[in-house]
Amino acid sequence: MTRSKLDRAYKFLIILALSITALILIKDIAVPIAFAGLFAIVLLPIEKRIEARLGRIFSITIVLVGSLIVLGLVIWFVIAQLSSLAASLPSIEERFSDFVNNLSGSVHEQLNIGLDEQIQLLKDGLKNLSTYVGDLVLSTSYLAYFFIQVPIYVFLFLFYRDRFQEFLLAIVPGSDLKWKDEIQNVVRSYISGLALVVIIAGALNSIGLLILGIDHAIFFGFLSGALTMIPYIGITIGALLPTLLALITKDSAWYAVGVIAVHSFVQFLEGNFITPKITGSKISVNAMAAILALLIGGKIWGIVGMILAVPAVGILKIVLSYSTELKPFVILLGDKNSDEIRRLEKESDPPAIPPTTA
């Protein structure tokens, strides 16, 4: 039995490595499909209720149109905030020029770095920045493709869901597909919880920035809140822009310190209270597994991979828990203690067959 388990684990690791390689090679195709699958799972209960009255095609259409309207309102809010930010750019640019001049003088006095060396360092930095901007332009063009593809895939997933279920039954004959229902419940709970976390973190950041008097506080607050979708590091990245804006537009550096303090406090609340209470119990992945998932996801699909990493590990953990040979991997991924793991193993083990009497 032990050798069989090791053989199954060995095959699983090979399949996992091949799957990661395939995901890297077909990134442009797989990313919209992955998001569409998650959205389809979330929208399925609503679609089912409407389908009972109007039929499948009309119900799917209504759900998709409603979702696009909500998305359109979010995009409208972002564009309005960006327009307000763009209108204030001339004054920010003038203050930024003064900030750079003062910073250059301080660097020359404190570090004894001449103006020519500073200019060369700035050129190198701008060269790297141009690379990131080029990647951003490519990402923006890909974003249009993404928003066209995802609704189409969502429609197809919802419309052909019965065939997917028949396919799974054909692969695993006699299965009750209990793991499928568990995955759907986890995905729905996680995404709804994540949306709530983004709203709460964005509101807290915005309130803190408004109290400090930082320009465009609502935009930067909710931008940082949205970046909480990238666990552990997202809200830190979101603090950089308002901190820089505070350094440029305010007379005292204490405003920048205040911005950092606000984001640190919100990050503390988000990491220790908000997220564990809302989404922590849904995915149930330990910190080490989550961090490794973020690194691997970022290596495979960049920022998108980091966003999808934690729910992907949660889904993988559910699938592994239904395999007797691969169940030890659940111990590495989960955050339950040993007693809970043993209890789950007893619940999932097949009942013993009583011996027959002669």
Q: How far apart are CA 30 and CA 165, in angstroms?
A: 20
Angle of helix 178-212 relative to helix 234-249, nearest 10 degrees?
10
Residue 252 in 3-state DSSP?
coil
Band of residue 84 on the pLDDT scale cut at 50, 70, 90: confident
* pLDDT 10s digits, 210-236: 999 888 888 889 988 888 877 667 777
The answer to whether 177 and 165 are in contact (CB under 8 A) is yes
Is residue 143 in some structural domain?
no
Span of 80-89, 147-156, 163-172 with lowest mean pLDDT: 80-89
pLDDT over 80 at 347, yes or no: no
Q: Is 285 helix (H, G, I), strand (E, B) or coil?
A: strand
Residue 76 lies inside a defined structural domain of this protein: no
C-beta separation of 253 from 231 below 8 A: no
Instruction: Share the mean pLDDT of the chain.
Output: 76
C-alpha 297/C-alpha 287 separation (Å) is: 15
Q: By C-alpha distance, which of 295, 228, 312, 214 is closest to 257?
A: 214
CA-based angle 25:29:33, to the nearest 5?
Answer: 125
Residue 325: exposed, middle, or buried by beta-carbon count in 10 A (0-12, 13-18, 19+)? middle
Please report whether residue 304 resides in a domain: yes
| Residue spans of beta strands (DSSP E) within 3-153 | none
Does residue 166 lie within any of the structural domains?
A: no
**Structure token pair of residue 131:** 């690379």
Residue 285 pairs in a beta bridge with 334
DSSP one-letter code for 229? G
How much is the pTM? Answer: 0.71
C-alpha span between 244 and 153 (Å, rounded): 40
Q: Containing H/E element for 259?
A: helix 254-269
Q: Is residue 188 part of a domain?
A: no
What residue numbers bound the domain in which 324 lies? 284-345
Q: Which among 56, 51, 289, 44 is positioned nearest to 185, based on CA atoms?
A: 44
pLDDT digits (tens, 9 = 90+) for 246-271: 887 787 888 889 999 998 898 888 87
Residue 158 lies in a domain: no
CA dist., res. 262 & res. 317, Å (int)? 35
Please count the structural domains in the chain: 1
| Residue 303 belongs to some domain of the structure | yes
Is 315 inside any structural domain? Answer: yes
d(CA 51, CA 112): 72
Reported confidence tier of residue 130, pLDDT bands at 50, 70, 90: very low
**Are the beta carbons of 299 and 305 closer than 8 angstroms?**
yes
User: Are 325 and 4 a contacting pair, CB within 8 Å?
Assistant: yes
- What pLDDT shows up at residue 303? 77
